[in-house]
């Protein structure tokens, strides 16, 4: 044992004495354009050759160079002529069409938006557009990003919250009147349904917390999504792990319910469970944005575990 410890100690010393050599500027022998691209990618999370899909009604791009578009506002005649040329040289890219970022330019003299992005639909269809206008009408060409984009819509969330709460309240009341099995109130002898509800509530709180305290981390995940929790920052990895856990527990719940209840009752139980989960997700994802979700989650854990033990 002593010999083994001695060998390990000597190995550590030898590793510590290793000289990697001086770090010279040649180690990062990058051009100015490459350094600018890396800097832009760090702050904006996308760069050249990034793929988008148009989600707005249309995206209008212009063939003119950004420098030609950035003229002094005092010369009204020139502005009018440039506006007419812009209409003539503009290209409209329709909804659901795919575009790729071909070039990025910064024009400090532009008072509207100093960043211009050149996008191309194909080799013959390309043009320039302000970054703000581009990002408001496109979504990353990835199904996960588009899913996030859909469920991040505030108006949609409010509408879904109203529909879910109304439908769930009516459905749960109807099931309780019929004496049907339902999670937390007339539950089956399985912890999986309760675990699923707790996971839904926890994931919703974590989801909103990342958006609240780490917006740039979430923004980077939005542009570069991954379902591998080990390839993500810690809290994003925890969130993705919770999503995988939800899938596994949902399968286990369905299996347990189908074994413990007849087919008709099992279907009603699963419908009621889905309604409860929808309510939990809606309530916790919205209340966490106002810091109410945290004490509410603790109270819900206490309630859910106490009801199951009872």
Q: Does residue 3 carry a pLDDT above 50? A: no
Q: What is the pLDDT of residue 75?
A: 37
| Residue 276 burial (C-beta neighbours within 10 Å; 0-12, 13-18, 19+) | buried
- 225: in domain: yes
Separation CA 199–CA 205 (nearest Å): 10
Q: How far is CA 201 from the centre of its chain?
A: 18
Average pLDDT score, the chain: 80
- 240: in domain: yes
99 and 154 co-located in one domain: no
Q: Does residue 301 carry a pLDDT above 70? A: yes
Q: What is the pLDDT of residue 238?
A: 95
- 64: in domain: yes
CA torsion through residues 195, 227, 217, 60, sign: negative
User: DSSP secondary structure string, 20-44?
Assistant: -----GGGG---HHHHHHHHHHHHH
Residue pair 276/188 in contact (Cβ under 8 Å)? The answer is: no
- 18: in domain: no
Q: What pLDDT band is residue 172 in, cutting at 50, 70 and 90?
A: low
102 and 235 co-located in one domain: no
| pTM (2 d.p.) | 0.75
- Percent residues over pLDDT 70 in the chain: 73
Q: Does residue 232 carry a pLDDT above 80? A: yes
pLDDT top residue among 174 and 102: 102
Q: Of 117, 140, 163, which residue sits at a domain end?
A: 140
Q: What is the pLDDT of residue 156?
A: 61
Separation CA 81–CA 121 (nearest Å): 27
134 and 251 co-located in one domain: no
Domain count, the chain: 2
131 and 158 co-located in one domain: no
Q: Does residue 276 carry a pLDDT above 80? A: yes
Q: What pLDDT band is residue 66 in, cutting at 50, 70 and 90?
A: confident
42 and 68 co-located in one domain: yes
216 and 251 co-located in one domain: yes
- 3: in domain: no
86 and 169 co-located in one domain: no
Q: What is the pLDDT of residue 279?
A: 84
Q: Hey, is 60 helix, strand or coil? A: strand
- Lowest mean pLDDT segment, chosen from 2-6, 112-116, 203-207, 212-216: 2-6
Q: Does residue 256 carry a pLDDT above 80? A: yes
- 7: in domain: no
- Percent residues over pLDDT 90 in the chain: 44
Q: What is the pLDDT of residue 18?
A: 41
pLDDT top residue among 165 and 61: 61
- 264: in domain: yes
208 and 259 co-located in one domain: yes
163 and 228 co-located in one domain: yes
Give the model confidence (pLDDT) of 116-165 as tens digits.
999 999 888 899 999 999 999 999 999 999 888 876 665 566 666 666 66
Q: Of 86, 112, 140, which residue sits at a domain end?
A: 140
225 and 285 co-located in one domain: yes
Q: What pLDDT band is residue 2 in, cutting at 50, 70 and 90?
A: very low
213 and 121 co-located in one domain: no
- Structural domain that includes position 168: 143-309
Looking at the DSSP assignment, which residues form a beta bridge with residue 90? 62
Q: Does residue 209 carry a pLDDT above 90? A: yes
147 and 270 co-located in one domain: yes
Q: Of 140, 175, 206, which residue sits at a domain end?
A: 140
Q: What pLDDT band is residue 23 in, cutting at 50, 70 and 90?
A: very low
- 46: in domain: yes
Give the model confidence (pLDDT) of 37-58 as tens digits.
777 888 889 999 999 999 988 8
Give the model confidence (pLDDT) of 176-189 as tens digits.
676 677 788 878 88
Q: Does residue 243 carry a pLDDT above 70? A: yes
Region 89-108 average pLDDT: 90
């Amino acid at each position: 044992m002593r010999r083994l410890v001695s060998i390990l100690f000597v190995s550590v010393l030898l590793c510590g004495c290793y000289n990697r050599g001086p770090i010279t500027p040649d180690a990062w022998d990058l051009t100015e354009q490459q350094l600018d691209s890396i800097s832009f990618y760090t702050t904006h999370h996308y760069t050249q050759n990034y793929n988008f899909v148009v989600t707005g009604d249309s995206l209008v791009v212009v063939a003119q160079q950004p420098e030609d578009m950035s003229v002094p506002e005092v010369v009204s005649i020139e502005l009018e002529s440039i506006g007419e040329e812009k209409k003539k040289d503009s290209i409209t890219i329709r909804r659901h069409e795919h575009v790729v970022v071909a070039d990025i330019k910064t024009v400090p003299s532009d008072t509207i938006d100093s960043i211009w992005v050149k996008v191309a639909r194909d080799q013959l269809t390309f043009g320039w557009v302000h970054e703000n206008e581009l990002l408001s009408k496109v979504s990353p060409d990835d199904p996960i990003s588009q899913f996030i984009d859909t469920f991040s819509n505030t108006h949609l969330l409010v509408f879904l919250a109203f529909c879910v709460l109304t439908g769930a309240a009516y459905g749960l009341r109807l099931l309780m009147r019929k004496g049907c099995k339902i999670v937390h109130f007339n539950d089956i002898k399985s912890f999986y349904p309760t675990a699923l509800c707790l996971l839904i509530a926890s994931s919703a709180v974590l989801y909103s917390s990342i958006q609240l305290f780490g917006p740039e981390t979430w923004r980077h995940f939005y542009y570069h999504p991954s379902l591998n929790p080990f390839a993500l920052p810690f809290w994003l990895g925890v969130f993705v792990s919770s999503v995988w856990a939800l899938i596994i527990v949902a399968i286990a719940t369905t299996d347990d319910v189908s074994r413990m209840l007849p087919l008709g009752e099992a279907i009603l139980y699963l419908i009621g469970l889905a309604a409860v989960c929808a309510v939990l997700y809606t309530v916790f994802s919205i209340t966490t944005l106002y810091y109410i979700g945290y004490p509410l989650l603790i109270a819900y854990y206490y309630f859910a575990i106490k009801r199951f033990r009872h």
